[in-house]
Amino acid sequence: MQKSRPYHHIPIEDLGEILTTIPLHQFSVISPHPYQRAGASYPCYSPYHLRSGVIDRLLLAQKYLQTQKPGWKLAIFDGYRPVAVQQYMVDFSFEELVQAKGWSRASLTPDQRESLWELVHQIWAVPNYDPATPPPHSTGGAVDLALADDTGAIVDFGSPIDEISPRSHPDYYLNHLAQTYHQNRLLLKAVMEQAGFQRHPGEWWHFCYGDQMWAWLSEAPRAMYGRVEESAL
């Protein structure tokens, strides 16, 4: 099942940059990795890999952050994600929603099934191997992250990463009494954008550089990163 995104028409001319290990000692890390804990398998590269140019920009973003908040760090949640892991987590999230509603997958009505998939795909890109429409994380150009303060504690953004709810929208707390959450989201956005990233319109934690979403949001004529060919890893 392919769900078209507004950036899928953008052509890709891959720069050929290799996936590189994120220098985790320079950042904070949200660990253990939640998808591995959920049972997802990474046979080749770990989720703590990105294209080399993306890592350079992450380091820049962290420098900008520390001019605003000395001692704070970017908190890395997820980077490279093979399509097989994308599929695993899409199915995993669907099952979580079924259980949360007290339903049984075997007895779902067509309407119930459709409504649940709509919720899942608000957060998760549809897994597919079409080289023209790669899931963002499969390109090595997308990263999910938060912030850690000068004590090492993860800053509260008002909702956890990957939550399937309206609270995931970047501006959910714009006119809310809990303005601290919104200010934290604005700070993360500001330092990432200063380094050249673009933020996912519907997720406060997802930032990209060089992929189709980035090209769409920055009005670039083409993307620089396509799907990493896992067979070549």
- Pick 207 or 121 by higher pLDDT: 207
Q: Tell me the pLDDT band of 176, cut-offs 50, 70 and 90.
A: confident
Q: Tell me the pLDDT band of 231, cut-offs 50, 70 and 90.
A: low
* Residue 8 included in any domain: no
Number of separate domains in the chain? 1
| Structural tokens at position 126 | 């549809």
* Residue 13 included in any domain: no
CA 112 from chain centre, in angstroms, equals 27
Span 212-226, average pLDDT: 98
Catalytic residue among 203, 219, 229, 230: 203
**Lowest mean pLDDT across 3-7, 49-53, 91-95, 145-149:** 3-7
Q: Dihedral through CA 159, CA 164, CA 169, CA 172, nearest 10?
A: -60
Is pLDDT above 50 for 232?
no
**Rg for the chain (alpha carbons), in Å?**
17
* Residue 2 included in any domain: no
* Residue 81 included in any domain: yes
Task: Give me the pLDDT at residue 3, please.
Answer: 65
| Of 77, 52, 229, 58, residue with least CA distance to 155 | 77
Residue 208 in contact with residue 137, Cβ under 8 Å?
A: no
The domain that holds 127 is classified in CATH as 3.30.1380.10
Task: Give me the pLDDT at residue 233, please.
Answer: 41
- Per residue in 108-149, pLDDT (tens digit) is 999 999 999 999 998 899 998 999 999 999 999 999 999 999
Q: Dihedral through CA 46, CA 32, CA 189, CA 7, nearest 10?
A: 40
* Residue 100 included in any domain: yes
| Of 182, 187, 161, 164, residue with least CA distance to 172 | 182
* Residue 3 included in any domain: no
Catalytic-residue membership of 203? yes
Please return the burial class of 135, using the count of CB atoms within 10 Å of its CB with bins 0-12, 13-18 and 19+: buried
Q: What is the pTM of this model?
A: 0.94
* Residue 51 included in any domain: yes
Domain of 158, in residue numbers: 19-232
* Residue 7 included in any domain: no
